[in-house]
């Protein structure tokens, strides 16, 4: 039995599947990951949340990165892995997609927004840090070009991309939803995460602890491999396309 056969069998026999995705699924769309050689943080230092709040210069630098697409998180297209997940969501096999990614590619591939849980936020739009008002990035571009300190037109709070920065509190509602999905699923499928960034990386282990089967598909080994029922080191897009064809 091939790896694809084994994974297809696990998905077929599961009543409720939760998927947990990391940077490895989006690198296949050309989006760089964070920590590997050549990744985002090897090219530029992250801007700490506290520095963003305290310093106009840091805010200006952050917005320049956004509008110059320095990090490369936006503007890519979903790949075969995203579309395979979307197909399984549409078929009712996957109940939720918990993602560490901020690129919006799960939604772009057709997964309904209500079934995507973004534990590290989203880089495709911005929010007021005070009142939570959503802003589309292009609506803010002229203010950046005019060298404004970009603040909310409703409450004058600072506006920032909707990503969770270093030093910023994790989103409570999303983390609660992710933990709930971990407790409800009977199969936790990790795709493309190194599983080193906590507290998010604790979610798959919670599912395993509560009795779910646990499968990891990643190009390299992870520290959680010993806890998994199935580990496959492979490219996600080709593998998941193969799996969907077996269901």
Catalytic machinery residues:
120
Handedness of CA 103, 106, 108, 109 (dihedral sign): positive
The residue to which tokens 């806890």 are assigned? 227
Task: Write the CB contacts of 180 (distance below 8 Å, at least 6 apart in sequence).
Answer: none
Terminal Cα distance for the chain, rounded:
15
Residue 168 backbone phi and psi in degrees, to 5: -95, 145
* Distance, CA of 50 to CA of 231 (rounded, Å): 38
Query: Do 200 and 227 meet the contact criterion of CB atoms below 8 Å apart?
Result: no
> What does DSSP assign to residue 27?
G
Nearest to 74 by CA among 8, 34, 125: 125
């Amino acid at each position: 039995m091939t790896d694809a056969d084994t994974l297809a069998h696990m998905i077929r026999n599961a009543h409720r599947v939760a998927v947990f995705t990391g940077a490895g699924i989006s690198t296949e769309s050309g989006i760089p990951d964070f920590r590997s050689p050549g990744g985002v943080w090897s090219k530029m230092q992250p801007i700490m949340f506290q520095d963003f709040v305290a310093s106009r210069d840091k805010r200006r630098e952050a917005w320049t990165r956004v509008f110059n697409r320095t990090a490369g998180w936006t503007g890519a297209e979903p790949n075969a892995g995203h579309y395979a997940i979307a197909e399984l969501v549409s078929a009712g096999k996957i109940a939720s997609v918990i993602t560490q990614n901020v690129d919006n590619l799960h939604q772009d591939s057709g997964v309904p927004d209500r079934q995507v849980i973004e534990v590290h936020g989203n880089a495709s739009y911005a929010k007021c840090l005070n009142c939570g008002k959503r802003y589309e990035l292009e609506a803010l571009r002229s203010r950046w070009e005019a060298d404004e300190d970009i603040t909310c037109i409703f409450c004058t709070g600072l506006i920032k991309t909707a990503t969770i920065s270093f030093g910023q509190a994790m989103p409570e509602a999303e983390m609660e939803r992710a933990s709930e999905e971990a407790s409800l699923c009977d199969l936790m499928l990790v795709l493309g995460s190194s599983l080193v960034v906590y507290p998010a990386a604790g979610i798959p282990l919670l599912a395993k602890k509560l009795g779910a089967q646990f499968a990891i598909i990643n190009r390299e080994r992870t520290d959680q491999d010993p806890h998994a029922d199935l580990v496959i080191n492979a490219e996600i897009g080709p593998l998941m396309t193969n799996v969907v064809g077996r269901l």
